[in-house]
Structures are given as C-alpha cells and as structure tokens.
Structure 1
Amino acid sequence: MNTVDPKGASIPTRIEGKFHATVVCWFLGLGTLVAWNSMLTVQDYYYELFPRYHPSRVLTLVYQPFALGTMSFLAHYEAKVDTRRRILYGYIIFFLSTLGLILIDIGTAGGRGIGDYIGICVFVALFGLADACVQGGMVGDLSYMDPDFVQSFFAGLAASGALTSILRLVTKAIFDKTDQGLRKGVILFLSISTLFEFLCIFLYANVFGKLPIVKHYRKKAALEGSKTVTSDLAAAGIHAKDNEDIVKNERLTNKELIHKNKDYAFNLWFIYALTLSIFPGFLYENTGEHQLGAWYAVVLVACYNIGDLIGRYVPLIDPIRLESRKGLTVACLSRILLIPCFYFTAKYGDQGWMIMLCSFLGLTNGYLTVCVLTVAPRGYTAPEQNALGNLLVVFLLAGIFAGVVLGWLWIINNGEF
C-alpha cells in the first residue's frame, strides 16, 4: 500500500522494497572492497614471492593515490557525472582487475621477478580507480535515501574484510600441506572474489534500481533538481518527461558543504589515518614471532576485520548510537591512544593482547564510520546529500592515504632505513 506526498510522488511503505534494498546494499558494499581486501589477506603469499619489496606497504601506497585522485576529480564534477555509469564501470574494472591477478599468476607460474611485481601493482592501481568510482558513487547515491541503506552498505564493506579473512584461513588450512599449497589457496581465493564482483555488476545493473523504494527516492531527488539520477530512472522505466515539475532549488556549493561539515570531514580523515597507520603493515612486519607462527598475521587481520564488521552494526542499537557532533570528535581523537598501546604490546605483550587490540581497532573504526556517515547528511536536499556523500568519501580516502604514509614510520623506527 502506498501513500502520496504533496507533489504527487508515490511513497512506498516501510515494507515495500526496503528489506530487499538493504540486502542488495550489503552485497554492493561487499563487492566494493572484496577485491582490495583479497589483496590484503593474501599478503603472506606476496611476502613469500617478494620478501624484499614490502608488499603490504607498497601495494597499499600504490592503491591510494589512484583512489584519492580519482575520487577528488569525481567529487568536483559530481553534479555532472552519470552515477549509474560511474558505478557500473567501477564494478567492471574490479571484476577485470581481479581476474587479471589470477591470470598473471597462472601465466608466470607464481613469478618472483620485478616485472611480475610491477604487473601486480598495475592491477592494484586499477583497484584504486574502481574504488573511487563505486564507493563515492554509492555513498552519494545512498545519502539521500534511507540511513539504513548507508549502514548496510558500510556493513558490506566491513563484511568483505571479514569474509576474505575467513576464506583465507580456510584455503590456507586446506592447501597448507600440499605442493604449492599457498599458491593454490590464493588462486582459489581470488577466483571466489572475482565471482562476487560479477554478482555486484548484475545486482546494480538489474535489481537495485528497479526496487520501488529506490525508485521513489530517485524520483524525489530528480524533483529536487538532481541530474545524476537520470539514467538510473531511465533504466527503471521512468523518463525525464515524467518529472516535469522539477524544483529549481539553489544548492550549497562544495566549499559551503565542507565548511558546514568540517568536523565530520576531519573525523573521517582521522579515523582512517590512524587505522591505516597500523593496519595492515604494522601487523605483518612489526608484531614479531609468536606461537601462531605463519598464521599470526593472518589471524590478526581476521580479528580486525571481524571487529570492524561488528562495529558497523552497533549503531543500529539506538541507545548506544553516537550522534553528538562534539561526542564524535572526542571519540575519534581518543583513538590516538591506540598508537602507544600497539607499540608497547608488540614490544612487551603476548599474542593474546595483540589480538584484543586488533579487534578493538576494528570495532571502533566500523562504529565511528557509520555514526558519522549516517548523521552528516541530515537536513540537506537530495543533490546536497549526494555531493556531501562524495566529499566525505574524499576525506575518508585522504585519511587512508595519510595512514599508509604514516605507517612507514614503524619501519624507520626499526632502523630499516
């Protein structure tokens, strides 16, 4: 059953399409980072192939400039970019790049040369480009819809890390004792990731935009002057002539949006700058040797990813969801205490304490991310919410890039430079 708003647009009830849209958003979030998280969780394999090239740090450093540069460009021209094509191109690049990693490994039989390493870096750079196309486009698109969609999408992002970690543990256990077992497990692992990317192409192209509640929000955005939803509406069978009563609202500029939301932008930057200064490089290179042996770093990454996933569902519990702007800033800044905690635990603590710290790092990362991104878009028109979503992702990626660079300080501290 539908109701009608004053402008005549049909408003779906809470039941109609919302559950399906929430599920699809989760899978689309999964596909957004499953390729990159696959790279992070097979670092034990790349450390075996390229022990002198610091794979966990170098590959992350290759990925981030492409993600940040592309995202900054797309955010600047967000109002003119066709969101549907942008997101579909991103998922297609993810699919082809993940497939390319498999082919380069099979074609070189697990080659260890610098040429093979450069080839891997090229595909990782494409991951960064695709991430900017998909993540910024999806966050902007979902920012003017139901907040639960944003939460579900970011839960999917975290689920990609948890799922890849679990799959990595399984494939490592299955092939551990076989000939070239590590390599076989990685190929199987990347093949599963490639299938997830193909699934996301299908879901976004043929399912998401045709759900009633999604069509409602996009029609509403079009009525408020958004031009980014035109092809999405056309794909759902709704054409521009059906939306002739477009409201010509003056929207805030990107500069004005950043100024009004500078605390949210800083919070996202700081969350990821701190997290990526520790994860994953510190976990692979600075935690020493313990009883878990070769499994230690893989387990630490899995604990972080599972904590991150849980943290992104915690804001669904109203009494413990943090919405205060000052409260969010204080909570984000307080995470700076994790730096000395990781340093002294790696130097003096045992593996149990490090596992607990990694879980807490992930838990706070996921919780604060969802809190910021579900609160920030409130009170704006759909075009402004779309623009703000893109801008916040720019700061998120800038934080990741800063964290990756800062992560090298752990190596300098070890006297390796």
Structure 2
Amino acid sequence: MSTHKQNWEHYKTKGRFTALFISWLLGNGSLFAWNSMLTIGDYYAFLFPRYHPTRILTLVYQPFALGTTAILAYHEARLNTRRRNLLGYSLFFSSSFGLLVLDLATSGKGGLGIFIGVCIASAVFGVADGFIQGGMVGDLSLMCPEFIQSFMAGLAASGTLTSALRFTTKAAFESSDDGLRKGAMLFLAISTSFELLCIFLYAFMFPKLPIVKYYRSKAASEGSMTVTADLAAAGIQSSVKNAALQVMEDPKQFERLSNKELLVQNIDYALNLFLIYVLTLSIFPGFLAEDTGSHSLGSWYILVLIAMYNVWDLVGRYVPLLKPIKLVSRKGLMFASLSRFLFIPAFYFTAKYGDQGWMIMLTSVLGLSNGYLTVCVLTEAPKGYKGPEQNALGNLLVVFLIAGLFSGVVLDWLWLIGKGW
C-alpha cells in the first residue's frame, strides 16, 4: 500500500473537474434514452390511445431493469465493470436507433404490432439500465462522493434536458402538419447520438483521467478485480499485475464483507432508497399524465408538470453540496423518507379540488425531495469501506432503488380504481 501511495498520491486531484463533468454526462446518458421515450409520451398516446402507453411502457421497463440489476449485483465481484457499462450504453444506443427505424419504416402508424415493438425497445432500455446504474454507481462509489453526486445529478438532468427539448419541438412543430411525429423523430435522433457519445466517453476518456486512475489503482491495491479492465485500458498494467499477485499470495488480507453482511449493516440506507422511489413512481409520471384533469394550459399542462418535476429533482441533487443543509443522520434520512408518503393524500386532494398552480408547486416539491434524499443516501452509505466493499454496496443500493421504482410503477395503477379503462 505504501508503494501505491508513493506512485499515485500526486494524481489524487488531477483531472477532478473533467471527471465530474464526464460523470455528469454519463449519468445523463444513463436515462436520456428512457426519458426521451417518456417525454414523447403524447405522441405515443396519439398512436396508441387504448393502451395507456405512459403506464404500460414504464411497467415493461422496470421488471427488466430490476431483474438485470439484481442478477449483476449478486455476481458483481466477478464482473468486468468496463464491459458491463459499455454494453449498457450500447444497448441504449441500439434501442434508440431501433425506435427511430421502426417509426420510419411504418410511417408513424399505430396498431398493436407496432406497440409491441415499442414495448420491446422499452424492455431493452430496462436491461441497459440494469447494466449501467449498478455498474456506474458501484464504480463511482469507490471514488470520491462528489462523483456519485455528479452522476446522480446527470440522471436528473436527462429529464430536465428532455423536457426542455420537448417544449422546443412542440413549439416549433405545433402548427405544422404531422408536427407531433416530427418532434418525436428529432428526439429519438438526438437520443441515439447522445448515447453514442457516452460510449466514446466511457471507453476512451474517463479511464485515462489521472484522478480516476488513482482511485481505481487504490481499489486494485485493496483487492478489487472489477477495475482491472479499466486500468488495463488506461495503460496501467503494473497495478493490474500487482493486484492479482497480492490476492494470490495472501487472499486473507483481501477478505471483504459478504453482500449479506453489507446489506445488514446498511439496511436502513437500502430501505430509504426503496421508500423514496416507491412513493415517487406511484405518482410520476402515470398519475401526472392521466389523472390531474384538464386546465387552462391545455395540452401543455402535462409537459409543464413533468418539466417542473425534472427541474426540481435536478436542483435537489445539488443541494447536498451545501454541507450545512446536507442530511447525514441515519434516523433523519429514515424519517424524511417516510414523511414523503404524505404526498399521496396531498396529490389526491389537489387533483380533485386544487387548481393547476397548486399541482405545479406540489410536483416541484416531489422532485426536490426525491433528488435531495437520493444524493444524501448514496454519498453517505459507502463511507468507511474499502474499494471492493464500496462497489458491492453501490450495486446493492441500486437494487433497492430500482425495486422501489418497479413497486411504485405497479402501485401507480391503483389511481385508476373506480375510473374505468
């Protein structure tokens, strides 16, 4: 370890801001394709009016994301993280391109067969998410907490950017023939291009940053095998060989807590993430898209609600950078996560009796609290562990996050009780 420090300590801060920016872009790319599909939901609602596309596509997406994440989290110690993340971004790219080709090939027609094709693309997005979110959160967990914060902010920024683009395309094409479809096609083209950029960034730029080399080399010196492919890609063969030799010579020195032990020690953090997202996805986007009534904003109303959620979710993910107001108490985090369930009666009565201003405000607070608590949990949980354990814990926490997403999507259907189909 002393040799490692001597060789690598001077790299600890070099390239930090570049790494933060690339982490933000990679986080953006982790959800940009999926958020693009959600944001053009009005186009799919026009094509498939009888199939509840906003709810169905989300319901298709989540079990594939959860299943993939859970399987990969179980095997994370033996996985090639570089290959895992690159495969995830490649799946996002190919599926976005597939949606574009599908619509062009069918000339924007609806029908059950086309809807099944869109659902298949949604399922591929779920698999890609399962590869990337656990892989990236685990990988960044063994680095500095700011990288996790930047990645999670990027996730939220994808929603904000897609909402801004949707406003632009709706305004630009609203008065033209087939404007809804033209906007959707532009969205899918941008999404495809952006996912290609993420493949390039993760494959060639991120692993070669000095600060990233430092943290991955440190993790390798602590027995992590998940970083070896990225170290090799960065040209650091010596760290890879030394790590392998050390593990072979003295495996007991590198014994780590099992996944079960890590989960027991951090069950409150895991439950927090589950509770945060089961509540959020029971309201967003399904309830906001279909159950908030008609108001003076007309067809813009749903877009405004989704945009306000995304903007304030992004803001919430930057708030923990202000140390005095960052919530670090484990009891405080649990209380805050549970108290968010008051949003359920609040949204119900606001949709029934309130006007659009109250609904916009409530949606903003939902997004703000979601982003804030997510970053607080994911930046606090990995502290005090070695690299291999931080990677494993990051994977486990993402399993609970996505389990919350999936459960929330299922519970969202309860809003339809008594309303008919």
Contact 1:9 1:216 in 2 (8 A): no
- Match of 1:125? 123
C-alpha separation in 1, matches of 2:86 and 2:19: 17
Please tell me whether residue 167 in structure 1 is matched to residue 165 in structure 2. yes
- In the alignment, what sits opposite 1:372? 377
Higher mean alpha-carbon deviation, 154-163 vs 239-248, is at 239-248
Q: What is the TM-score normalised by the length of structure 2?
A: 0.96
Q: TM-score, normalised by structure 1?
A: 0.97
1:189 to partner: Cα distance: 1.2
Calculate the aligned-residue CA RMSD, in Å. 1.2
1:56 counterpart residue number:
54
1:330 paired residue number: 335
Say which of 314, 317, 320 aligns to 2:319.
314
Q: Which residue of 2 aligns with 1:241?
A: 241
2:156 aligned residue (135, 158, 174): 158
Aligned: 1:348 with 2:353: yes
Counterpart residue number, 1:298: 303
Aligned residues: 413
Amino acid at match of 2:408: G
Deviation at 1:164, TM superposition (A): 0.3
Indicate the residue corresponding to 1:88 in structure 2: 86
Offset at residue 241 of structure 1 (A)? 2.4
Which residue matches 2:401?
Answer: 396
Please state how far the C-alpha of 1:9 moved relative to its aligned partner: 3.8
How far the C-alpha of 1:415 sits from its partner, in A, is: 2.8
Q: Is the CA contact (8 Å cut-off) linking 2:85 and 2:131 kept in structure 1?
A: yes
User: Distance between the aligned counterparts of 1:202 and 1:6, measured in 2?
Assistant: 29
Going from structure 1 to structure 2, the CA distance change for 1:227 and 1:13 (only over 3 Å counts) comes to closer
Could you report, residue by residue, the CA deviation over 1:295-318 in whole angstroms, capped at 9, with x for unpaired residues? 110110000000100000000001
Displacement of 1:8 after TM fit? 3.3
Distance apart, 1:245 and its partner CA: 4.2
For each residue in 1:322-355, what CA deviation from the matched residue of structure 2 results, as whole angstroms up to 9, or x when unmatched?
0000000001110011111100000000000111
CA distance in 1, matches of 2:299, 2:127: 32
Q: Per-residue CA shift, 1:231-275, capped at 9, x if unaligned?
A: 101000012225444573211111111110000000000000000
Contact 1:11–1:213 under 8 Å retained in 2 = no
Question: How many percent identity over aligned positions?
Answer: 64
Q: Deviations over 1:80-122 (max 9, x none)?
A: 1100000000000000000111111111111211000000000
Cα-to-partner distance string for 1:46-105 (whole Å, 9 max, x where unaligned)? 111111101111000000010000000000000011000000000000000001111111
Q: Is the 8 A contact 1:224 1:382 kept in 2?
A: yes
Q: Write the letter of the residue equivalent to 1:97.
A: S
Cα offsets for 1:392-412 (capped at 9, x unmatched): 000000000000000000011
The answer to whether the aligner puts 1:214 opposite 2:212 as a matched pair is: yes
Partner of 2:420: 416
Could you tell me how far apart the structure 2 residues matched to 1:309 and 1:235 are?
32
Say whether the 8 Å CA contact 1:9–1:220 is kept in structure 2: no
The separation in 1 between residues aligned to 2:235 and 2:254, in whole angstroms, is 25
Matched, 1:16 2:20: no
1:226 aligns to what SS in structure 2?
A: coil
- Partner of 1:51, secondary structure, is coil
Task: Give the partner amino acid of 2:390.
Answer: Q
Q: Give 1:5 deviation, angstroms.
A: 6.7
Could you list the runs of 5+ residues in structure 2 that have no partner in the other structure?
A: none
Hey, what's the Cα distance between the residues in 2 that align with 1:283 and 1:416?
17
Distance 2:351 2:188 in 1: 31
**Aligned ranges for residues 3-42 of structure 1 at < 5 Å?**
7-12=5-10, 15-42=13-40
Answer yes or no: is the 8 Å Cα contact 2:81–2:227 preserved in 1.
yes
